[in-house]
Structure 1
Amino acid sequence: MQQILILYYSRHGHTRQMARLISRGVETVDGCEALLRTVPAVTSAEQSSSDISSEEASDPFVTLDELKGCDGLILGSPTRFGHMASPLKYFLETTSAIWMSGALAGKPAGVFTSTGTLHGGQEATLLSMMLPLLHHGMLITGLPYSETELIHTETGGTPYGPSHTAGSDNDKLMSESEKKLCIAQGKRIAGLSKQLAK
């Protein structure tokens, strides 16, 4: 069984919802299963526990062994000034031993994000999230325009990976295009994982 790790951080629940849809796409591929994992929030001494959303606790926290053992990785984060959120970056900075071993080299990977506004840095975030995966030697895949939702979407959705525009008040529901692109990404990376395993 090919195990695709969907590793995300979510503050308001939108990235978590995307992760769930991506897992649905993974599990449409015979012989593949989705492993949904998150990372803990990073807090400062000035932050109170009430400042931290409990969304990240909805799935188990990832372990380094789970990352090392996955057959494919799909990484998701809300946008923070064109970059991934600090909790996800903090976790990735603990993966030096996996990097040194080359355990992720040659495995397929993709990225996804959610922003408050349409021009809130979706593509910059997706591209910057690819950098640590490239350092790990992973095979980055996006979404091809054969996914026709990319042509018609008026909200989120990019060739670099699925995205969602949540609204400045984080109250916008996912569009049908956004949902379909999430499912397509899960299916695509699961399928690549199976092909590479042959």
Structure 2
Amino acid sequence: SRRRSNARSAKNPSFLLRFRLISLVFANPGRPPLMAATKVYIVYYSMYGHVEKLAEEIKKGASSVEGVEAKLWQVPETLPEEVLAKMNAPPKSDVPIISPNELAEADGIIFGFPTSLTAITQLTHHGMIFVPVGYTFGAGMFEMEQLKGGSPYGAGTYAGDGSRLPSELELAQAFHQGKYFAGIAKKLKGSS
């Protein structure tokens, strides 16, 4: 019987963990346009903490925009505790778990998931506006001297075997995405 290792091998080039953050804005017609702060929710799943680090930086960027209230949320865990233990997953942070009903309270949502869960862009077919960061990050988008996650679709990181944490450049792109997204969400809320 073949035994699988809990740790992913960095020597195996076919396996490279990659994380991406996707930004979506939707109009919430039930809320007065300029009466309250623009609510930006950063909703993520992070087993080993890589996406959580990016989400924290996105929150900082979104919070830097005047009139924007940013909040971190986790999605509920679907794996049983026994499986998580075998995967050596650390305990989850104390960030609150979001319910589907709470999503409707936001003016904009940034989702952060591992690559295996990024089929989220289909939500644009349900009235959400997809807000990629594009090439607004400037020279950082074209960095070729170091391994860098992220793309015009959004911030990201390569975790490799799990030991590589997001780099300063990847965190800077996450901050930029949060700030850029919050500005657009605020403008869209004001025009509704």
Structure 1 length-normalised TM: 0.69
Map of 1:78 onto structure 2:
114
For the structure 1 residues 150 and 48, does the alpha-carbon distance in structure 2 shift closer, same or farther, using more than 3 Å as the test? closer
SS at match of 2:114: strand
Q: Which amino acid aligns with 2:151?
A: T
Map of 1:177 onto structure 2:
169
Q: Does 1:151 align with 2:142?
A: yes
Q: Deviations over 1:107-149 (max 9, x none)?
A: xxxxxxxxxxxxxxxxxx4xx2211x21331110112223121
Given the alignment, which residue of 75, 91, 114 partners 1:39?
A: 75
Task: Give the CA deviation at 1:194.
Answer: 1.0
Q: Does 1:129 align with 2:120?
A: yes
Map of 1:60 onto structure 2:
96
SS at match of 1:42: coil
Q: How many residues were matched structurally?
A: 150
Rounded to whole Å, the distance in 1 between the matches of 2:53 and 2:153 is 19
Task: Give the CA deviation at 1:48.
Answer: 4.6
Task: Give the CA deviation at 1:10.
Answer: 0.4
Task: Give the CA deviation at 1:50.
Answer: 2.2
Contact conserved, 1:13 with 1:55, CA < 8 A, in 2?
Answer: no
Q: Of the two, which has the highest radius of gyration? A: 2
Q: Between the two proteins, what is the percent identity of the paired residues?
A: 34
Task: Give the CA deviation at 1:166.
Answer: 1.2
Given the alignment, which residue of 43, 50, 69 partners 1:7?
A: 43
Rounded to whole Å, the distance in 1 between the matches of 2:91 and 2:50 is 9
Q: Deviations over 1:89-115 (max 9, x none)?
A: xxxxxxxxxxxxxxxxxxxxxxxxxxx
Task: Give the CA deviation at 1:49.
Answer: 5.6
For the structure 1 residues 182 and 49, does the alpha-carbon distance in structure 2 shift closer, same or farther, using more than 3 Å as the test? closer
Task: Give the CA deviation at 1:54.
Answer: 4.6
CA RMSD, 1 decimal: 2.0
Q: Which amino acid aligns with 2:156?
A: S
Rounded to whole Å, the distance in 2 between the matches of 1:23 and 1:60 is 14
Q: Which amino acid aligns with 2:155?
A: P
Structure 2 length-normalised TM: 0.71
Given the alignment, which residue of 138, 161, 165 partners 2:158?
A: 165
Map of 1:191 onto structure 2:
183
Q: Structure 1 or 2: larger helix share?
A: 1
Map of 1:101 onto structure 2:
none
Task: Give the CA deviation at 1:183.
Answer: 0.5
Contact conserved, 2:159 with 2:166, CA < 8 A, in 1?
Answer: yes
Higher RCO (CA 8 Å, separation ≥ 6 residues): 2
For the structure 1 residues 164 and 186, does the alpha-carbon distance in structure 2 shift closer, same or farther, using more than 3 Å as the test? same
For the structure 1 residues 9 and 35, does the alpha-carbon distance in structure 2 shift closer, same or farther, using more than 3 Å as the test? same
